[in-house]
A and B are shown apart, each in its own frame.
Chain A
Amino acid sequence: MKNPLNKRLPREFKKNAGKYIGIFIILVTTIVLGSSFMATMDSAVLTIEQNDVECKIEDGQFEVMEPVSQAIKEQFADKGVILTENYYSTVNDFDGDARVLVFNERTELNLPSLFEGSLPDAKDEIALERIFARNREIQVGDAITLNNLQFTVVGIMAVPDYSSLFKSNQDLLMNTEDFGISLVTKEGFARFDENTLTYRYSYAFEDEDISKSEEKELIGEMQKALLLEGSMIQSFLPAVNNQSITFLREDMGKDGPVMQVFIYILIVIIAFVFAILTNNTIESEATIIGTLRASGYKKKEIIAHYLSPTIVIAIVSSVIGNGLGYTVMLKPFENLYYSTYSIAPIDIRFNFEAFVTSTILPVVLMILINWFMIYRKLSLSPLKFLRKDLNKKRQKRAVKLPDFSFLTRFRIRVLLQNKINYLILFVGVFISSFLLMFGLGLQPLIDHYVEEIDDSLTYEYQYMLKAPVEVSNAEKLQVYSLKTWYELGKKDISVSFMGITEDSQFFEEIKLPEDEKAVTVSKPFADKMNVSEGDEIVFKDEYYDKEYTLYVEDVCDYKGSLTVFMERENLNAMLGYDSKAYSAYLSNEKLAIDDEYLAKIITRSDMVGAAGQMMKSFEGVLTIVSVFSVVIYMILMYILTKTVVEKNALAISFMKVFGYNSKEIGKLYLNATGIVVIASLVICIPAEVLCFKYILVYIGSMVEGYIPFYLPAWVYVAIIAIGIVSYFAINALHLRKVKRIPMSEALKNRE
């Protein structure tokens, strides 16, 4: 004979449908989120790893003023370094203001992955990078013009050395809107003017298992060889320091554990909510349990009975959650990667590890927590259940309260009676409002960052020179890039040194130190490196293997980037240049500098525009995050406060008999929830701000820039307002429930 108690299960689900549906929604959403995210991430990681091997990703690159000699190539080959030309032509005015790098055909390293069409085969054919093509609405078959040359787009592709589209390695944010990569044939590349070319070389080590120290040694030897030959190195960038390569790989690696922790926190909350519900059921059915135990039912049979709703909900949620996670919800996550990163087509595959992380562990965790809670509760004797004496402590004493008004004391008693519910609600409010803060706050944070850069930039153009050239209406300056150790990110980061003069019209506010060992640093630099006036910093010149120890004399309000300011003469003296030497011009006007002398133009829009573009790929996710947070928040509040009302149904019924109306009862029982919600919202904000700052530092440790923390007051107001509105919505639902509690309850129920 089947256990007749099992017949109660469907009735239990029907009776408490609201609560079970609420838990089911959170659980399914969590598992969908977990499984689709983990599956996409793991598949993407595998795809990238596979693609890196198949497409032979470079181990580094350098750019020189003139092509290197055959002798250098042979020298490198002898050292086990594969060196390949990776020349490109820069088109600065594609479709108005977009920058497109046109690369020559690749045969050895950084090979392209095709999404659509084919690779170029004729001199007027071109393959475009996928995100740029999509953002510019260019399709296979379209004709495009680059530097007055006509091309037909024959393919849409991705290249491994630009999986993250950073316009420059110093940029803080990717630019997926107006920065593109393209590939043409050798014949096609020959059509470009030589003056627009950049001589980039990519290298890879033959020994795939080369150690870090060996790699460092080899890089040093390569740099020396280039300098000895007289090559003017413009940049030397090992892959580990190349954001376009590392950003995605570091990002992907680090997202997983964060998501895992997030899932586990949610699961633990859901498990405790479930445990509270079960606990309430056990308390209300104490005499039934006592009777069953007295009739001979074993403790484990009763545990199994009360654990069964948890098991059913957990299993059904995991099946549906994974079903949705691997089908419907996969696309948004795939699109998130596709819209953010330029990666090869992701080959989605079932990953058992991801399944364990996103499903098996959460379900087991949930069942275990519930089993433990039920087991503890059912450890009392049958007699105690029959007597409804479920308190483990022999004599429960009343907590002494100060002489507050009756209403205040009543509400405090409700809070104390339901402290576990409210504790979980507090954690739920913290997580939800943090997600909400993130969802609402990221856009204004980036906007503010962009505005600050825009405000602090006093010039429109920065012209980087290959060789000195005299022009009028511009200010000369020495620009040089040095590295410094960034402890938090455990890596060297580039710092831009600007040698300017005391009478600079563009940096009037900056107080330049007279001491040649002193520098003025930009605020982002000081914040990121956590340095202040008087601190010493060691800067390294990797090309010449030199170190400079300088101290901070002043922190200036320049927000542009990680910049260090010195007197031009002092900087030149430090670098061993002529005191009047310069390598760049600043101007508010477009200058007519011959391409022969020009290395690069950095415009205000280059520095400011990228941030705005970056947000586009996040818009959808931020909306999902915001909605998800409100859903969790409302469901948790609904379930937890519903149990408060149900637990006190009998008392509420008495109150009605005594002459309280539903509104007054609501004020007594539900306002306690309001107090917890509002207090939690307010108390949690400083902790959430701390977490937000920590996340920014974490993001900052992955990139070379620095985003200062900023949240406008309206975000705080919105978080509290959304919380309060949600509370009132749930409150209204519960008031209906209070109204429906009959007075006859007081007469029927007996102790």
Chain B
Amino acid sequence: MQLRMNNVHKFYGEGDNRVEVLRGINCEVNDGEICVLLGPSGSGKSTLLNIIGGIESADEGCIDIGEDCTSDMSENDLTLYRRDHLGFVFQFYNLIPNLTVKENIEVCAYLSKEPLEINELLKTLGLYEHKDKLPSQLSGGQQQRCAIGRALVKNPAILLCDEPTGALDYRTSKEILALIELINQKYHNTIIIVTHNNAISGMAHRVLKMHDGQIVSNSMNHAVISAKDLDW
């Protein structure tokens, strides 16, 4: 499913405090691409990710997903859009603390008409033997695997990852990136990764660089390297 951003603007605050955080974003991400969104803090990358995810709305412009445009969608349509097409992975995992690993994944499986087979997915994630544990019993990396499983179980067309390795150490980060790469190869989802870690761009098909609310660079990576070979 192709993702197109058309002249997206976003403002925060009012009057003298009004700040334009996205200043006319235009770009396309092709079906099945891994797209890395790079930029320093405050550059607007997370805001753009939230607008793509239908969590926030653009003040001007729109996001086209296939035939649909998010700016035309009602709140209910946006809910269905997230349900049917998107998966989210957050920096701090955001697992539901009183549900087990398997149940956390079931939270999203429940929303899908054709979810992936959960036990199979747990094995892919390396979490099968931890499936009955609570999040508090897992390491950070295992929690992020669980969060990825939760996002992935719906087999979404687009997987949005907001700093997925931001809270992890070097080794665990590489494991998670390898998992994302594996998922892309196995399920062919479009994956957008927001990060400030330049090294991650090595595994991306497309690299978008943002600065001060604008895309300052949109380039295809013709020398994609495997996540396990990334170094920083």
A657 touches B110 (CB 8 A): no
**A661 — nearest CB in chain B belongs to which residue?**
B79
Cβ 8 A contact of A743, one of B55, B81, B86 = B55
Shortest distance between the CB of B90 and any CB in chain A (Å) = 7
A747 touches B98 (CB 8 A): no
A660 touches B55 (CB 8 A): no
A residues near B107, Cβ cutoff 8 Å: 406, 410, 655, 658
The listed residue with most A CB atoms (<10 A of its CB), out of B46, B96, B133, is: B96
B residues near A744, Cβ cutoff 8 Å: 55-56
B94 touches A746 (CB 8 A): yes
Q: Is A750 an interface residue (CB 8 A)?
A: yes
B76 touches A661 (CB 8 A): yes
A406-B92 CB under 8 A given contacts A658-B83, A659-B79: no
Q: Is B50 an interface residue (CB 8 A)?
A: yes
Rounded to whole angstroms, the CA-CA distance of A400 and B76 in the bound complex is 35
In the complex, number of A-B residue pairs with CB atoms less than 8 Å apart? 79
Shortest distance between the CB of A420 and any CB in chain B (Å) = 14
A657-B134 CB under 8 A given contacts A398-B100, A746-B94: no
Cβ 8 A contact of A414, one of B83, B98, B109 = B98
B residues near A654, Cβ cutoff 8 Å: 94, 96
Q: Is B136 an interface residue (CB 8 A)?
A: yes
A residues near B76, Cβ cutoff 8 Å: 661
B55 touches A657 (CB 8 A): yes
Q: Is B82 an interface residue (CB 8 A)?
A: yes
Q: Is B20 an interface residue (CB 8 A)?
A: no
Q: Hey, which bits of chain B sit against chain A, CB under 8 A?
A: 46, 50, 53, 55-56, 76, 79-84, 86, 88, 90-94, 96-100, 103, 106-111, 132-134, 136-137, 150
A396 touches B55 (CB 8 A): no
Rounded to whole angstroms, the CA-CA distance of A396 and B99 in the bound complex is 12
A659-B137 CB under 8 A given contacts A406-B109, A413-B99, A750-B92: no
Shortest distance between the CB of B100 and any CB in chain A (Å) = 5
Rounded to whole angstroms, the CA-CA distance of A644 and B34 in the bound complex is 39
A396 touches B94 (CB 8 A): no
A410 touches B82 (CB 8 A): no
A658-B132 CB under 8 A given contacts A398-B100, A413-B99, A747-B55: no
Q: Is A71 an interface residue (CB 8 A)?
A: no
Nearest first, the 10 A-B pairs at minimum CB distance are A659-B83, A659-B82, A417-B98, A406-B106, A398-B134, A651-B96, A398-B100, A743-B55, A751-B92, A413-B98
Contact with B along A388-430 (1 / 0, CB 8 A): 0001000111101000001101100110110000000000000
What bracket does the count of chain A residues touching chain B fall in? 20 to 34
B residues near A650, Cβ cutoff 8 Å: 94
Q: Is A130 an interface residue (CB 8 A)?
A: no
Rounded to whole angstroms, the CA-CA distance of A751 and B96 in the bound complex is 12
A residues near B96, Cβ cutoff 8 Å: 651, 654
Can you report 5 A-B residue pairs in the complex whose CB atoms are below 8 A from each other?
Answer: A396-B137, A398-B134, A656-B79, A657-B55, A659-B80
B residues near A651, Cβ cutoff 8 Å: 96-97
A413 touches B103 (CB 8 A): yes
B111 touches A746 (CB 8 A): no
Rounded to whole angstroms, the CA-CA distance of A417 and B81 in the bound complex is 31
A residues near B99, Cβ cutoff 8 Å: 410, 413
Shortest distance between the CB of B116 and any CB in chain A (Å) = 15
**A653 — nearest CB in chain B belongs to which residue?**
B94
B residues near A413, Cβ cutoff 8 Å: 98-99, 103
**B46 — nearest CB in chain A belongs to which residue?**
A747
B residues near A747, Cβ cutoff 8 Å: 46, 50, 55, 90
**B167 — nearest CB in chain A belongs to which residue?**
A751
Shortest distance between the CB of B21 and any CB in chain A (Å) = 14
